[in-house]
Amino acid sequence: MCLFQYDDDPEPEEPDPAGLLYVPVRPGTHAVAARVFRTPLGGRTAVGFTTVDRLIATLGAEQPWTRVSEPVLRALAEPLGVELLTVDPTLTARAVTGPRASAGSPRTGSDARDVGHGTRTF
């Protein structure tokens, strides 16, 4: 955030539009949904990457993605109350894992599917 406002440049720290971005998505039954992440301070942000290699380096090769322009990503995030867009984030936390099952009680059913599918934050 810029501390100073200039009449000739209303957002001096915001670069030109990023163009087409590689956007992490969650697959659904009939469509995909753009993933929303958290900033280090807890705010919600849409995320896009300028190259697929950067997306893979940050989120892993198994992360599904789609390509959309910056204005489209902002339009998708706006109804969710997400105003921030982060391009090419590099820091992530480790995936959240569930509590370990004891040796005598293996996980089954939905519990087994939920382990290790936590949200990464930025």
pLDDT, residue 8, reads 52
pLDDT of residue 117: 35
Please tell me the distance from the alpha carbon of residue 60 to that of residue 97, in angstroms, as a whole number. 16
Question: Which residue type, as a one-letter code, is found at position 38?
Answer: R
pLDDT of residue 98: 67
pLDDT per position as a tens digit, 23-81: 999 998 899 899 999 998 899 999 999 999 999 999 999 999 999 999 999 999 999 99
**pTM greater than 0.75 (yes/no):** no
- 78 and 117 in contact (C-beta within 8 Å)? no
> Can you tell me the distance from the alpha carbon of 46 to that of 84, in angstroms, rounded to the nearest whole number?
6
- Binned at pLDDT 50, 70 and 90, residue 119 comes out as very low
CA 92 to chain centre: 10
Q: Is it the case that residue 115 has pLDDT exceeding 80?
A: no
Quick: pLDDT tens for 89-101. 987 666 666 676 5
Match 């957002």 to its residue by tokens: 11
